[in-house]
Structure 1
Amino acid sequence: MTRGNPAAQTAFGPMVLAAIEQNEPPQRRLVDDDLAAQFLPARMRALVATTRVAPVRRTVMAAVQRSGPGLWSSIACRKRLIDERLSDPLNETDAVVVLGAGLDTRGCRIARHSDMPVFEVDQAVNIERKAAVLQRVLGGTPPSVHLVSADLERDDLMAALQAAGYDASRRTFFIVEGVTQYLSPDAVRTTLAALGTAGKGSRLVFSYIRQDFVDGTNLYGAPSLHRRFRGRHPMWHTGLVPEQLGEWLSDLGWQLVEQAGPSYYRDLYIRPTGRRLAASPIEWTAVAQR
């Protein structure tokens, strides 16, 4: 179903990583997600199961690190940062919207203790797959979770959300994780500007790839990663510049609150685990507010 749609296939990788992290002792994990493995297809669940053995787990992590130095840590840490910002007791939120939701488990984890509406947006192929996964794992989609099919390159995002019951005047926590690089620059601007019309007090967390890596002027020691995503059939189309992000977001209706890069992840998340890992300078995560 996804063979002709490479971007849709990227839903699996981050969730496999999150699932493998659960096989680390609790004090050594970079992220907690007890549903991650259950949401994966059988063959990937089998792979994750093999990593309960520490040497196998280290081998798998090392293979990922060779293809993209530091990306394992960056992906795990961005997930943790988003979870922490979402669960911040000072963060008053009426709804959550997850763009490019893929196999993301947050909606179901929220549904365990809250009836706050969560809208998960993705391409039709991923929404169909997610519905099947929820049926298999939970017996159906939780009442507070709304699956919304939309193509961010072509469809009217806010119209699709509103058709699913979303109220754009509410304070919303928007999550755009691992998405912006797969969109065209125009689609990124259009999408974030549309989200910028949400109610006052809304927040936005999104990850992005540095522009200098996308255009190839700085490969940050990851030439194979650049070839994979920017080679003959490029999947990454958009990059952003950390130093220019505040002004760029302001034009789209958002105020930049913070950015997290490799040093942030190293000091706050990696060092306390005692693991000798580095985070990638290629990907950053930003938090903004309305």
Structure 2
Amino acid sequence: MSRTDPVAQTAFGPMVLAATEQYQGPGRLVDDDLAESFLPTSLRAMTRLLRWRIPREWSIRAAERSQPGLWANVSCRKRFIDELLDAALPDIDAVVILGAGMDTRAYRLARRSTIPVFEVDLPVNINRKRSVVRRALGAVPDSVRLIPVDFEHDDLAAELTRHGHRAADRTFFVWEGVTQYLTEAGVRATFDYLSTATPGSRLAFTYVRADFIDGTHRYGAESLYRRFCVRKRIWQFGLNPDDIAPFISPYGWELIEQAGPDYLVEHYVKPAGRKLGASQVEWTAYAARR
């Protein structure tokens, strides 16, 4: 897998957005003081230009024209998952982040908890992440393990076990911004593993709507559809909101709630005083292992 792999390269976009949000002050949609430091030099320089209001607002408007609602979706899904994890911490023994990318969640958590966190991603992203963490923080925290895995081909359970994850641990699984890049077989193989999770485990995962990926509905995001579903063809798998409970139930998971665009706007965007819409294209689901 090369550094120019189109799926691996998508690890940077959400972190640019999170880093930019930190300059919004009290009106920011997500708190992530490490986001900027995890970016490569060129993107850090670009993001620092957005500390000024006018270029930042221009950048957000440009993103909204290109991908309507995705700015709020990405920002708010991060906050939603952070809040779910914080609430669950007293009742879990480990955290597994599937498709960790350049996300900082494990490192923000390590500053206040010794709970073991296992970051899983493509080998190119894990190698890059290790270098980034050493540059930004000096060393990978003792509580964080970095695990290279190809979800389509590798044995996820074996790799997690080899790196110290115990099957009996009640685990909070985070699967953010990943499922659309996999085939249905890859998604189901991961759920086969998740079906072995200990009762009391939790799962927060995002998905792109199937009716967007197959082109039935574009939800005003024509350029997004052309980019990911037509030209690059790297968005492969989707589900619709009504599909989630029946899809995950055979694997032993019970749907607790979902955060779609209305939820994100009501809980995060409006209270922040921001005038942003959220997109129907991506949703976040939260489930518990029965």
Residue 175 in structure 1 maps to residue 171 in structure 2: no
For residue 275 of structure 1, report the CA deviation from its aligned partner: 0.9
What CA deviation, in whole Å up to 9, does each residue of 1:29-50 have, x standing for no partner? 1000000000100111111100
Residue 23 in structure 1 maps to residue 23 in structure 2: yes
Q: TM-score, with normalisation over the residues of structure 2?
A: 0.97
Aligned residue number for residue 209 of structure 1: 208
3-state SS of the aligned residue for 1:88?
A: helix
**The 10-residue stretch of structure 1 (87-96 or 36-45) with the greater mean CA deviation from structure 2:** 87-96
Aligned residue pairs: how many?
Answer: 288
Aligned residue number for residue 3 of structure 2: 2
Letter matched to residue 64 of structure 2 = Q
User: What is the aligned-residue identity percentage?
Assistant: 53
Letter matched to residue 244 of structure 2 = L
Q: Aligned equivalents of 1:149 and 1:158: distance in 2?
A: 12
For residue 81 of structure 1, report the CA deviation from its aligned partner: 0.2
Aligned residue number for residue 258 of structure 1: 257
Aligned residue number for residue 278 of structure 2: 279
Letter matched to residue 50 of structure 2 = T
Aligned residue number for residue 107 of structure 1: 106
3-state SS of the aligned residue for 1:205?
A: strand
Residue 76 in structure 1 maps to residue 82 in structure 2: no
Task: Give 1:1-290 correspondences, 5 Å limit.
Answer: 1-3=2-4, 5-25=5-25, 27-88=26-87, 92-290=91-289
Q: Aligned equivalents of 2:23 and 2:167: distance in 1?
A: 39
Q: Aligned equivalents of 1:108 and 1:248: distance in 2?
A: 32
Q: Aligned equivalents of 1:268 and 1:198: distance in 2?
A: 30
For residue 232 of structure 1, report the CA deviation from its aligned partner: 3.3
3-state SS of the aligned residue for 1:82?
A: helix
Task: Check whether the contact 1:70–1:277 (CA below 8 A) recurs between aligned residues.
Answer: yes
Q: Aligned equivalents of 1:265 and 1:214: distance in 2?
A: 22
RMSD of the TM alignment (CA)?
A: 1.0
Task: Check whether the contact 1:193–1:253 (CA below 8 A) recurs between aligned residues.
Answer: no
Letter matched to residue 141 of structure 2 = P
Q: Aligned equivalents of 1:100 and 1:155: distance in 2?
A: 13
For residue 175 of structure 1, report the CA deviation from its aligned partner: 0.2
For residue 196 of structure 1, report the CA deviation from its aligned partner: 2.3
Letter matched to residue 11 of structure 2 = A
Q: Aligned equivalents of 1:67 and 1:235: distance in 2?
A: 18
Q: TM-score, with normalisation over the residues of structure 1?
A: 0.97
What CA deviation, in whole Å up to 9, does each residue of 1:151-187 have, x standing for no partner? 0000010111000000011000000000000000111
For residue 233 of structure 1, report the CA deviation from its aligned partner: 3.0
What CA deviation, in whole Å up to 9, does each residue of 1:208-257 have, x standing for no partner? 00000000000001111100001133010000011121011101221111
Q: Aligned equivalents of 2:88 and 2:200: distance in 1?
A: 14
Q: Aligned equivalents of 1:134 and 1:197: distance in 2?
A: 31
Q: What runs of 5+ residues in structure 2 fail to find an aligned partner?
A: none
**The 10-residue stretch of structure 1 (243-252 or 139-148) with the greater mean CA deviation from structure 2:** 243-252
